[in-house]
Chain A
Amino acid sequence: MRQGVLHRLDGVARTISPFFVTLLLVLFALLPLRVTDFAPIMPAVALVGVFFWSVHRPDLMPIWAVFLIGFVQDLLAGGVWGPGILGLLLAHALVVWQHRFFLSASFILIWCVFMLVAAAAMAVTWLFTCLAMLTYIDPDPVFFQFLMTVALYPVLAWLFLRGQRLFQR
């Protein structure tokens, strides 16, 4: 009986862990790193989390979780509400739409697709931020942010995979 409860708790923890891990990443991305000129090109960690789990465990990254992650990210960033959410929703929708493609894809291929999806998501975020603020925002930092995010993807993906394997033991 007791084991049944524990087993169930374990199951719940596994189910919500991608959501919470991504939220934690968003929170930790707020930490001031005190590295010169790093803040403007801070990688979009939420995008990595949402993409990774939408590809590998779409059942554990439902669309409402994507929305919530986006909302928390926009709240903490102190900017406009909404554009960040739209970017993440787009990334999630693109992955779900072409889900069959990922079933047999190699890591390199998935990484390349991440590049495309991240480009689309960040472009949408930039566009709607400009529209919401009614100003033109220099897209250069967004581009460097995009490069940083793409570069960070293998590192985070490796960590996520290790974590998932640890869980599955």
Chain B
Amino acid sequence: MNKPTGSEIRLASPLKAWASRFALLLLVGAAFGLMLIGRTNSFLVEETRTAVTDMVTPILDAVSQPVDTLSGVIDQAEALANLQSENVALKEQNARLLHWQAVARRLEAENAALRNLSQMVPDPQMRFITARVVGDPGGAFVRSVLINAGERNGIAKGQAATTGAGLAGRVAEVGLRSSRVLLVTDINSRIPVVVGQGRDRAVLAGDNTDAPQLLYLGPTAKLRIGDQVTTSGHGGVFPPGLPIGVVSAVGDTGVRVEPFVDWAHMEFLRIVDFEMSGILDFQSVEAARAASAEAETAAAAAEGPGQ
């Protein structure tokens, strides 16, 4: 192969220089065009994006497994080092949890009896789909992850994504075999929650930092650091009572919440299929959109022959 030299690009020819300048202008224009399309036509953006993620997810799925194994080995080595102390801690925790199990069983029975008494409408059944996290775009602008389950596996838009610890995010885009989960820390994430003993209503709003903010708190709300934050179920998107985190800061800069989820070790997500059609009734919206598009084309076809 020839050695790369400056003459290879031959910018000396003025025609070529103009052509390359024109190409630059054209492509910069195209980038601005895409930005506009992204703002105005979210449907097209989503379709394109899910098509691409569907294409790359099998690759990511295959490649991310050795990465997981490697980080698993590191975790194991760490665990071996702390075996003794961990064992003691676990025994203590086990004793405590057995006590809680007894309490939970008693409360469950009592709860069932009381519900029976008051003839309360039961919450819809929940179904879980477990998926592996195969992609994390990282960067400063978005907080989302890709999972290796999609429409085929029963994932639908709006479902809650949880880890064992608590709520991680919401399914934002669904492809055939992959989905994108918008994490609660993302700048576009808004989740209705209840906080603390007083069950004060608020909205948990992400801002791309690790500690999302609580917005729209009532003036009477009295919050303390350590208060539990759970989903409220308002809007009918998420089931009520999913734990999210604890209040970590109360001050002039707002109320901050520290989520329970360990973002660095999020290998699997449990997608909660909460069988309830809430405000975000995507299916009917999309059906209506498809129907109106069909009606338009039918109308155009009917007009066509007359002209």
A interface residue numbers (CB < 8 A to B): 14, 27-42, 44, 56-59, 63-64, 66-67, 70-72, 74-83, 85-86, 89, 93, 96, 99-100, 103, 126, 128-129, 132-133, 135, 137-139, 141-142, 145, 167-168
> Once the chains bind, are B64 and A31 in contact (CB under 8 Å)?
yes
Among the stretches B48-56, B156-164, B213-221, B240-248, the one at the interface with A is: B48-56
Q: Do A34 and B138 contact each other (CB < 8 Å), given the known contacts A82-B35, A85-B34, A137-B187?
A: no
> Once the chains bind, are B63 and A31 in contact (CB under 8 Å)?
yes
Measured CA separation A96–B27 after assembly (Å): 15
> Once the chains bind, are B38 and A80 in contact (CB under 8 Å)?
yes
Shortest CB–CB separation between residue A34 and chain B, in angstroms?
Answer: 5
Measured CA separation A67–B52 after assembly (Å): 16
A-B Cβ contacts below 8 A, count: 170
> Once the chains bind, are A145 and B139 in contact (CB under 8 Å)?
yes
Cβ of B265 within 8 Å of any chain A Cβ, yes or no, is yes
Cβ of B177 within 8 Å of any chain A Cβ, yes or no, is no
Which B residues are in CB contact (< 8 Å) with A32?
64, 67, 133-136, 145, 266-267
Q: Which of A32, A64, A128, A137 has the most CB of B within 10 A?
A: A32
Which residue of chain B has the shortest Cβ distance to A131 in the bound complex? B35
Which B residues are in CB contact (< 8 Å) with A103?
6
Measured CA separation A80–B187 after assembly (Å): 12
Cβ-neighbour of B142 out of A28, A70, A78 (below 8 A): A78
> Once the chains bind, are A34 and B71 in contact (CB under 8 Å)?
yes
Measured CA separation A83–B53 after assembly (Å): 19
Q: List 21 A-B contacts (CB under 8 A).
A: A30-B137, A32-B67, A34-B267, A36-B264, A39-B136, A41-B140, A58-B8, A58-B9, A59-B4, A64-B23, A67-B30, A67-B31, A70-B31, A72-B52, A74-B34, A99-B9, A103-B6, A132-B38, A133-B141, A137-B187, A168-B1
Q: Which of A34, A38, A85, A86 has the most CB of B within 10 A?
A: A34
> Once the chains bind, are A75 and B135 in contact (CB under 8 Å)?
no
> Once the chains bind, are A78 and B6 in contact (CB under 8 Å)?
no
> Once the chains bind, are A28 and B63 in contact (CB under 8 Å)?
yes
Which residue of chain B has the shortest Cβ distance to A122 in the bound complex? B140
> Once the chains bind, are B145 and A145 in contact (CB under 8 Å)?
no
Cβ-neighbour of B20 out of A31, A35, A83, A96 (below 8 A): A96
Cβ of B249 within 8 Å of any chain A Cβ, yes or no, is no
Contact with A along B174-202 (1 / 0, CB 8 A): 00000010000001000000000000000
Shortest Cβ-Cβ A-B pairs, 9 listed:
A42-B138, A82-B35, A141-B140, A81-B38, A36-B264, A32-B136, A39-B138, A85-B31, A30-B135
Contact with A along B29-57 (1 / 0, CB 8 A): 01110110111000001001100110010
Cβ of B89 within 8 Å of any chain A Cβ, yes or no, is no
> Once the chains bind, are B31 and A42 in contact (CB under 8 Å)?
no
Q: Which DSSP category, helix, strand, loop or mixed, fits chain A's interface?
A: helix
Cβ of B144 within 8 Å of any chain A Cβ, yes or no, is yes
Cβ of B59 within 8 Å of any chain A Cβ, yes or no, is yes
In chain B, positions 273-305 with a C-beta closer than 8 Å to chain A are none
Which B residues are in CB contact (< 8 Å) with A100?
6
> Once the chains bind, are A89 and B67 in contact (CB under 8 Å)?
no
Q: Do A40 and B138 contact each other (CB < 8 Å), given the known contacts A32-B67, A35-B264, A137-B208?
A: yes
Measured CA separation A32–B138 after assembly (Å): 9
> Once the chains bind, are A77 and B139 in contact (CB under 8 Å)?
yes
> Once the chains bind, are A29 and B138 in contact (CB under 8 Å)?
yes
In chain B, positions 255-269 with a C-beta closer than 8 Å to chain A are 263-267
Shortest CB–CB separation between residue B143 and chain A, in angstroms?
Answer: 8
Measured CA separation A32–B136 after assembly (Å): 5
> Once the chains bind, are B68 and A86 in contact (CB under 8 Å)?
no
> Once the chains bind, are A86 and B31 in contact (CB under 8 Å)?
yes
Cβ-neighbour of A40 out of B52, B67, B71, B140 (below 8 A): B140
> Once the chains bind, are B45 and A81 in contact (CB under 8 Å)?
yes
> Once the chains bind, are A33 and B137 in contact (CB under 8 Å)?
no
> Once the chains bind, are A135 and B187 in contact (CB under 8 Å)?
yes
> Once the chains bind, are A34 and B208 in contact (CB under 8 Å)?
no
> Once the chains bind, are A59 and B9 in contact (CB under 8 Å)?
yes
Which residue of chain A has the shortest Cβ distance to B181 in the bound complex? A78
Cβ-neighbour of B49 out of A31, A78, A138, A141 (below 8 A): A78
Q: Do A40 and B35 contact each other (CB < 8 Å), given the known contacts A59-B4, A75-B52?
A: no
Which B residues are in CB contact (< 8 Å) with A76?
52-53, 56, 135, 137
